[in-house]
A and B are shown apart, each in its own frame.
Chain A
Amino acid sequence: MARLLKNPIALVGLAIIALYTLIVIISQFWLPFDPLQMDVAHILESPSFRTGHLFGTDEFGRDILSRIMKGTGISLLIAVLATAIGATIGTFMGVWAGFLGGAWDHWIMRLADVLFSFPSLLLAIFVMAILGENTYNVIIAISIVYIPQFARVSRGAVLAIKNNEFVRAAFSSGADRRFVLSRHLLPNIMMPIIVQSSLSLSVAILLESALSFLGLGVQPPHPSWGNMLSSARKVMMLAPWTAIYPGLAIMGLVLGFNLLGDGLRDILDPRLRNIK
């Protein structure tokens, strides 16, 4: 943790994420305008202090800033839950496959290969088409994309530990398998999983917005950054602010997660740590 605070990149990342979290908390209690309330008299107004619509209004006269703030919670929720579910199931599968080896390992990894050969957006689109479009299904779709990724990472870590001389010795000296596992596996596997998770969080934000952009994600009138961009697509030439601000919001949060992930990698990857 102390190392984390010394790493400027990770620190900036954390600060950005903290800012967004703050926005989520504020948006629970206060928003400049009702994000769902249409206002026919103020359609597609450009950003202005006078009207109070700092980011302008959309094609229904709704305040874009309020919608972005409201959408922050939805985007974060999706990213965090999808990553958590994908990481949990994927890690479990990877550890299982790595430890058992043999046929289980073979089949689980073949399944991961098959899932891997789909571009992740296409896979997510498939899942959305089957499950139907709503927020919960977006979480499921993204976590399905993540499962094979986490499975691979954790399996690799397990194999590395299995071949570790100390662990081998412990096994052959008859130590309790479960004990060895919890003693050596968890600490070693946590590092790559944490790094992978922070990157997955950023990709989840992008995947959610891409799905919503294609009309397959979070459904109107609920604001999500992706569906704001999707509806902005129709009016963006007329009112560029409808497209610019939600895109900036996405970029900021994704950048936050990427910075954190990159910083974490610096800190956790011992080979790179002493290079400065």
Chain B
Amino acid sequence: MGTPADEARVMGVDGLDALIRALGERGYEVLGPRVRDGAIVYDGIDGAADLPVGWGDEQAPGHYRLSPRDDDACFGYAVGPHSWKRYLLPPRSKVFEAERGAKVFALRSAEMPRKRFAFVGVRPCELAAINIQDHVFLRDTARDVLYASRREDIALVAVQCTEPSGTCFCASMGTGPAATDGFDVALTELLDGHHRFVASAGSELGRELLAAVGAAEAEQADVDRATTVVDEAAQRMGRSLDTEGLAEALYANLEHPRWSEIAERCLGCGNCTLVCPTCFCTAVIDTNDVTGTGALRERVWDSCFTIGFSYIHGGSIRPSLRARYRQWLTHKLATWRDQFGTDGCVGCGRCITWCPVGIDITVEAAALHEPAPAAGAGR
């Protein structure tokens, strides 16, 4: 799994703390996991002490609880309700402002924030999700300057997964539990004996950082142990999804009775889309101020579960919940490939955990993988 012995380094919690501080000293806005309101969310961190030390989580469809661990693990949990898209594609951002005189009007594009973000504790599935959104927003023919300005120059400190949750299925999607590239530094947390992190650099910045914090060369035993704990995690995935022929099956099953069945349970609330680290849909909202002289365009996280999403004059294309759920699931697992050349799902399990009524994409996809039962056969 990834780390050639000659490049692997090892450090303690103090080394991790120094790494976080080194990023801050280099002018990065350092963001990482923290405990807040009974969950692990992403927010600013100043050092290793801000991490959810000693916390784990328990996840099931529609269910999430923090649980104390019997060790001091810094990364002993799976992903929470936040994803990094909150920073790269903010929930609400300004596209332009406009002002008008008698007959003319002038437009000012939004100021591009030039914050350099450092993300600490990025899971392999999340690296995959960032890569997927890059394919949406950074295509040569349609480079999105708002996304690009936030995406450029970020520093990524990845953490290999050793504690998958009950709703994780990254192993099925080929996005985890180990990351082999796409990071500046990748850490594997080892809790046997001395609490330590096996670290490998994936970029020049990563090498600089590891040198700056004085990470020692790792011994082969630590490197092997790091490989083992991640391999074991792959065996403990809470869920799995058989993707073999799935996209084709979904295309063939657009009229499957299962869609109507799901619509009986689905709330149409949009939670799954907003917690998803790859869902990128935004609404474009034009407003004016009360005097009518100023105008604003914003883009705001939207969801294909809203009726207005598919609105054209004369009404919504997808008024039924059945059609809206079908749009979402087929996009994730089939049409996304045709649109962007990647899958739309990384197997992080957020949509399962954070669905208020526990609808499980792996269960629904499996049901939709099968041909519709013959008419008259009942449910």
The reply to whether chain A is a binding partner of chain B is no
